[in-house]
Amino acid sequence: MRFHCSLLFVLPILFTLTACQSLPNTEQDFSTQNNVINKFPLSTAVQIDYQDEVKLLKINQLLVEQKDLDARQYAVLFYERGVIYDRMGLAAHSRYDFIQALSVDPTFADAYNFLGLYLLLSESYDEAFDAFDSALELSDNMQYSYLHRAVGLYQIGRYQLAMNDIEKFYSLDQNDPYRVLWRFIINSKVDQLKALQTLKSSTQLSNDPRFAWAIVDVIAGRTTEKDFLESLSYGVNTNKELAERLCEAYFYLAHWHQLSGHLEKAVYYFKLSTATNIHEFIEYKYALIELGAIQRRLQTGKDKK
């Protein structure tokens, strides 16, 4: 799922830009305790896009040469460069540019939203919540700030508050399969059986072709995990499309297995999600957060394989 942005303006300049770990010794064959599956589809890790490199050069040139831009235009350039750095996986550069955008224009809701996500990745939860709060106060279009704030609250064990935010996020588009999945993940921490029943009651509209509904079907028990994995490449034409699909699929399956007590498989799936190198997807970013959280719990003896 791409990081959604709500930029509603265009710079009157030369071009228009749009925004939206390695896996050690990974094998395609993997034995599981319940013997559900045997093979895992993989893609080639996605590399930096040449067009992004070209856009980055143009933005750098504009920042140096254009002297008559107003504060908002400078902020947009910093923001757009930050989005490109994010796609490239250059987290420090990206975070710095979002801070730069806000220093020029403190009313930039999209920059607050993106910065909050990076603050979550660095476990700076109070600052992250402040950033999401600012985004929501400044714009009615920052729906994903509810999701990100819910995930942060979930990570620190404030489950009831997380549920409030995820219900708000879900209510804004009840036909979105990703919101159905996130609602299940967050609410399962309070009542897993009820969360599962709620997910099972969610229905796909006849004209909605989104792949994520297939993930919902697996968790709901309408499709087997084996059949789902075998169908992952159907309708995919490029390695990039396959990598994006795998990034999402492995992430949500990892959460499902983690909630079911299958920690070893969950860790493996989270690693497969990050192995795609789809840095701009929130599933990639949150897989990193989950792997870090699992490692800390294992070190303190709170989880067992």
The residue type of 132 is: F
Asked if residue 279 is part of any domain, the answer here is yes
Asked if residue 98 is part of any domain, the answer here is no
* Structural domain harbouring 254: 238-300
What is the average pLDDT value for the chain, to the nearest integer? 87
pLDDT tens string 206-245:
788 899 999 999 999 999 999 999 999 888 999 999 999 9
Asked if residue 48 is part of any domain, the answer here is no
Position with higher pLDDT, 26 vs 87 = 87
- Mean pLDDT over 261-265 rounds to 94
Asked if residue 281 is part of any domain, the answer here is yes
pLDDT > 70: percent of the chain: 86
Which pLDDT score, from 0 to 100, does residue 90 have? 95
Which pLDDT score, from 0 to 100, does residue 44 have? 86
Asked if residue 280 is part of any domain, the answer here is yes
- Mean pLDDT over 272-286 rounds to 96
Asked if residue 53 is part of any domain, the answer here is no
pLDDT at 205 > cutoff 70: yes
Q: Give the lowest-confidence range in 19-28, 92-101, 258-267.
A: 19-28
pLDDT at 7 > cutoff 70: no
Asked if residue 288 is part of any domain, the answer here is yes
Which pLDDT score, from 0 to 100, does residue 2 have? 67
Q: Which H, E and C letters describe 38-99, residue by residue?
A: CECCCCCCCCCCHHHHHHHHHHHHHHHHCCCCCHHHHHHHHHHHHHHHHHHCCHHHHHHHHH
Asked if residue 287 is part of any domain, the answer here is yes
Percent of residues in the chain assigned helix, strand, coil, to nearest 5: 60, 0, 35
Which pLDDT score, from 0 to 100, does residue 303 have? 56
- Mean pLDDT over 47-61 rounds to 93
Which pLDDT score, from 0 to 100, does residue 299 have? 85
Q: What is the C-alpha separation between 265 and 33, in angstroms, rounded?
A: 9
What are the φ/ψ torsions at residue 159 (nearest 5 degrees)? -70, -40
- Give the count of domains, the chain: 1
